[in-house]
Structures are given as C-alpha cells and as structure tokens.
Amino acid sequence: MTEAFCILIHYHEIALKGKNRSWFERRLIKNIKRQLSGLPFSKVQLNAARIFCFGIDESMWNDYAQRLRKVMGIKHAILMTQVKDDIDTMKSVAAAQLKGLEFSSFRVSARRQYKDFHLSSQEINIMVGQHLQSTYLKPVKLKNADMDVVIELVKGMAYIGHERIYGFGGLPVKTSEQAISMISSGIDSPVSSFEMLKRGVELTYVHFHSAPATSRQSIQNVEEILTVLAGFQIQCRVYMVPLLEIQQKIMADTPNKLWVILFRRAMIKIASMIAEQLAIPALISGESVGQVASQTLSNIRATADAADRPILRPLAGLNKEDIIRIAEKIGTYEISIEPYDDCCSFFVPIHPETKADLEIVRKTEANIDFGKMFTTALKHAEIKTFEHPDYVRKSIDRLEKVSD
Ligand code: ATP
Ligand code: MG
C-alpha cells in the first residue's frame, strides 16, 4: 500500500467568487507558500477548488497548523493521508490513524468530488464507520463526536485524516488593496486591524506617541502587538510618529474640553499625509460607538472631518465583550491589558467634550498656528518593519550560523 501525507485546505468566501475566483485562489496559494517558508513542502497546488500541500513532514503538523491558522481566507486545513480510492484501503488507513488515540465517540464525514465512484458518501460513512466501530468498540455520534474522520475523494484519490485546524475565513491578504491602521496599545485597534486583515486588506500601521512625556512602555506594547499582527501578513511596517509638540501646542492654545478631539484630528491629518505619500486609499480606526464618552457620533463626525479619505471603523457596532473575545483569540489581549500611558489618556481633561460642535472645532483649530509642525512630526517618524517571530527566529538562526 503506497501512502503519502499532505495537507488539504478548504477556502472560505473565495468559493462565492465568480469570474475572478482564480485570481483569489492564486493569491491564497502565494500567501500559503510564504507562510510555510522554512517548513518542508514540495508543492502547493489547486485541485478541484481545494488546495493541497504535498511533500510535507507529517511529524511537524503542529508547526504547519500554527502557520496556516494565520492565513486569511482559509476555512480549515486537515492533515491527510493520500491513498488510492479503494474502500478497503480507506478502512484500514482510517483504523491505523486512530490507533493509540483517546476518544469516546466518533463519526466519519465522507465527501466525493466526483460522483462516479461506486459508493455514495453515505455508504462510505457506513462502511468505514462499521470497521472503526468493530475495531475500537466506540459508538458513532453524529453531533459533537470526539473524533471526526474526514474522507475526501478527489480525482481518483482518497484523502483521510482527523487532525484539523480552523482558519479565520475571509479573504487572502492583498486581495483588497491597502489601508493605514491607526494603532494604539489598547484593546480595540489591534482588533480593528485584524478585522480588516481578514477582509484581505494589507495594512501599514501608524502609532502616535508622546515620548518623552509618556514612558517607552506604550511604544513597547505597540511593538509587541505588531509582532503578533505581522503574522497575518508575515511582515508589516509601522510609522511611530512623535505627537508631543503638537499636543503641547493644542493644550496651550485651546480650551481643555476640545483637546482630545483636536489630538485626534491631528492624528488623522498625519495618517492621511502618510496615506497620500503611499497612495493608500483608506484609514482604519478602532472606535466603537458609545464605548467611551469620546466616541459619540458627534465626536466621530468632528474628528472624521479632518480626514481626506474614508476612515473604516470595523468595531463600530460591536460590544466590548465581543471585542475582548476576538483580542483573546488572536493573542493581543494579554499585551493590551499591560499598563501603559497612552498619548491621549495621559492629557485627558476631567470634562472632555462628549458632543462636539463641528463648526466650533473647525474655528478653534483654524486659530492654532501649527506652522510646519505636521510635516516636522512626519519627518521625525521612525519607520520600523516587524516580522512574526517564526521568521525572525529563522533570521537569528542564520546570524548565529554566520558568527559561529
Ligand atoms: P484603543 O483600544 O484602540 O486604544 P480606545 O477605546 O482607547 O481604542 P480611543 O482612545 O478613543 O479609543 O481611540 C480611538 C481610536 O483612535 C483607536 O482605536 C485608534 O484607532 C486611534 N488611536 C488612539 N490612540 C492612538 C495612538 N496613540 N496612535 C494611533 N492611533 C490611535
Ligand atoms: Mg486607547
């Protein structure tokens, strides 16, 4: 019996695409190959609306799984044994796979890509199921079984496996153009960034800091968050922009009620300047309507007015607990709850404006003589590139080898 291992990947929303589906598929394959770089595989191939990774080392399944979880567009990925589409072989391979594993119930989920196989999916389920039942004396449970043995018949071959990971679905990064994400070390903006990555948007980040008035800690927290988010696009860039001088100017020249709104407008203007330089059409923010007093619709209008392009707010309608759940799932929550002093919270007055009047905000801002402060802030921005530790570790290994 000849058998080989591979990973079978099902995509998500791409399946709903029409004429341009193959363009999305090609991007997804490219992203998978990049994500798996450094792990053994011979080819990543499209076959009957599925993606197969061949020539893998099955003992490293956990490494593949961890990487594939970060590729947007994937519905799920299963470690498979590839055999000829012969029912007796399927039975024995399925039984061999479960040997030594703990489970109290199981099911078989067969699917046929070609309908001319002599058995229906249901017949395969029953035949393989009976074999497993008599081998392991465990009951079949169709709902919530401990063990789901997946069998897929694709172009004359059978693929059998039970180790599966779920992806986040959505669309492959780089299929939906680019955006600038305004990121703090809070809970929300990492989640809003993630939500847009999931829609296939490639992100460049901008973070505003008030060093040296605030500690380096908030910058470090942002860097840690970016290391996590970089995993979804392998690499990302961030502009770390000093805002302190602009904030001091605003605080000197305007009533404290409007500070936060004017800080935000300054951030949006600088983010728009970066977007213009990079020809990026949209900005992203982590605002959620009503979450804090500053995020009222009137305030959102008063800040958004400073932008020359759309600001997407993927969290606008989410509840805080939903946002926290996503932050936990993607691994940014623990970093976001570390103490830090944010550039805005640090200077927040006791009674900030909760229902800003746009005309008053515009007039107040027009009276501030910012001079060249915006271009100067941008000139002093530090641009850093982040890579996910899986890849960084590789380059450190390389460095160590060189210095040996
Ligand atoms: P977060 O948890 O993302 O910090 P928040 O609930 O603290 O959000 P605000 O402080 O009102 O909300 O900020 C609203 C949005 O403005 C943030 O989600 C983020 O997109 C952007 N923002 C806030 N502070 C910064 C900063 N220092 N640098 C870049 N963007 C920021
Ligand atoms: Mg914040």
Ligand nearest to the CA of 290: 1
CA–CA distance, 320 with 334 (Å, rounded to integer) = 15
Q: What is the dihedral angle through the alpha carbons of 278, 193, 342, 213, rounded to the nearest 10 degrees?
A: -30
Q: Return the closest-CA partner of residue 284 out of 194, 186, 361.
A: 194
The pLDDT of residue 154 is above 60: yes
332 lines ligand 1 (CB under 6 A): no
> Is 182 touching ligand 1 by the criterion CB < 6 Å?
yes
Which atom of ligand 1 lies at the shortest distance from residue 294's CA?
11
Q: Which atom of ligand 1 is nearest to the CA of 284?
A: 20
Q: Which residues have C-beta within 8 Å of that of residue 376, sequence separation ≥ 6? A: 245
Residues 308-323, mean pLDDT to the nearest whole number: 97
CB 296 within 8 A of CB 354: yes
Confidence tier at 36 by pLDDT (50, 70, 90): very high
Q: Residue 217: its pLDDT value, please? A: 82
Query: Which residue has better confidence, 342 or 372?
Result: 372
Inter-axis angle of helices 358-366 and 297-304, nearest 10: 40
Per residue in 178-219, pLDDT (tens digit) is 999 999 999 999 999 999 999 999 999 999 999 888 888 888
Confidence of residue 3 (pLDDT cuts 50, 70, 90): low
Task: Return residues with CB closer than 5 A to ligand 2 (ion).
Answer: 184, 186, 342
Ligand 2 centroid, distance to 300 Cα (angstroms): 15
Query: What is the pTM assigned to this prediction?
Result: 0.92
Class of domain 178-392: alpha beta
DSSP string computed for 177-202: -EEEEE--SSSHHHHHHHHHHHTT-E
Cβ atoms of 274 and 379 within 8 Å: the answer is no
* Mean pLDDT across 73-77: 98
- What distance separates the 2 farthest-apart alpha carbons in the chain? 83
**pLDDT of amino acid 346:** 63
DSSP state of 317: T
CATH number of 4-166: 3.30.2130.30
Characterize 204-238 residue by residue with b for buried, 16 or more Cβ atoms within 10 angstroms of its Cβ, and e for exposed. Answer: bbbbbbbeeebeeebbebbbbbbbbbbbbbbebeb
Tell me the average pLDDT of the chain.
92
User: What's the pLDDT tens digit per position in 249-267?
Assistant: 999 999 999 999 999 999 9
The predicted model gives 316-326 an average pLDDT of 97
Position 85 confidence tier, pLDDT thresholds 50, 70, 90: very high
Ligand 1: residue whose CA is nearest its atom 27: 208
Q: What is the mean pLDDT of the segment spanning 305-322?
A: 97
In one-letter notation, the amino acid at residue 236 is C
90 pLDDT tier (thresholds 50, 70, 90): very high
Q: What is the pLDDT of residue 89?
A: 96
Residue 396 has pLDDT above 50, yes or no: no
Using one digit for the tens of pLDDT, what is the confidence trace for 39-66?
A: 999 999 999 999 999 999 999 999 999 9
Residue of the CA atom closest to atom 13 of ligand 1: 287
Question: 3-state DSSP call for residue 117?
Answer: coil
Q: What is the pLDDT of residue 390?
A: 66
Best mutation site among 184, 192, 238 for ligand 1 pocket (most ligand atoms within 8 Å of CB) = 184
Phi (first) and psi of residue 156, to 5 degrees: 80, 0
Question: CB 359: neighbour CB atoms within 10 A?
Answer: 9
pLDDT of the residue at 383: 96
pLDDT-based confidence at 395, cuts 50/70/90?
A: very low
Could you tell me which residue, 24 or 401, shows the higher pLDDT?
Answer: 24
Domain with CATH 3.40.50.620 in the chain: 178-392
Phi, psi of 265 (to 5 degrees): -65, -40
For residue 393, the SS3 value is: helix
What one-character-per-residue DSSP string does 357-391 give? Answer: -HHHHHHHHHTS--TTHHHHHHHT-EEEEEE-HHH
Q: Which residues pair with 165 in a beta bridge?
A: 77
pLDDT above 50 for 8: yes
Q: What is the pLDDT of residues 267-312, one digit of tens each?
A: 999 999 999 999 999 999 999 998 887 799 999 999 999 999 999 9
- Give the single-character DSSP code of 140: B
Q: Which residue has the higher pLDDT, 333 or 398?
A: 333
pLDDT digits (tens, 9 = 90+) for 331-341: 999 999 987 77
Q: Which residue has the tokens 């699917």?
A: 111
89 with 157: CB under 8 angstroms?
no
Confidence of residue 351 (pLDDT cuts 50, 70, 90): confident
| Pairing verdict, β 202-209 and 157-166 | unpaired
Cα(265)–Cα(302) distance, integer angstroms: 8
Residues of the chain with CATH 3.30.2130.30: 4-166
Distances, alpha carbon 198 to alpha carbons 64, 80, 324, in Å: 20, 26, 17
Mutation probe of ligand 1 site: the residue of 188, 298, 342 with most atoms within 8 A of C-beta = 188
- Given a cut of 80, is residue 243 above it in pLDDT? yes
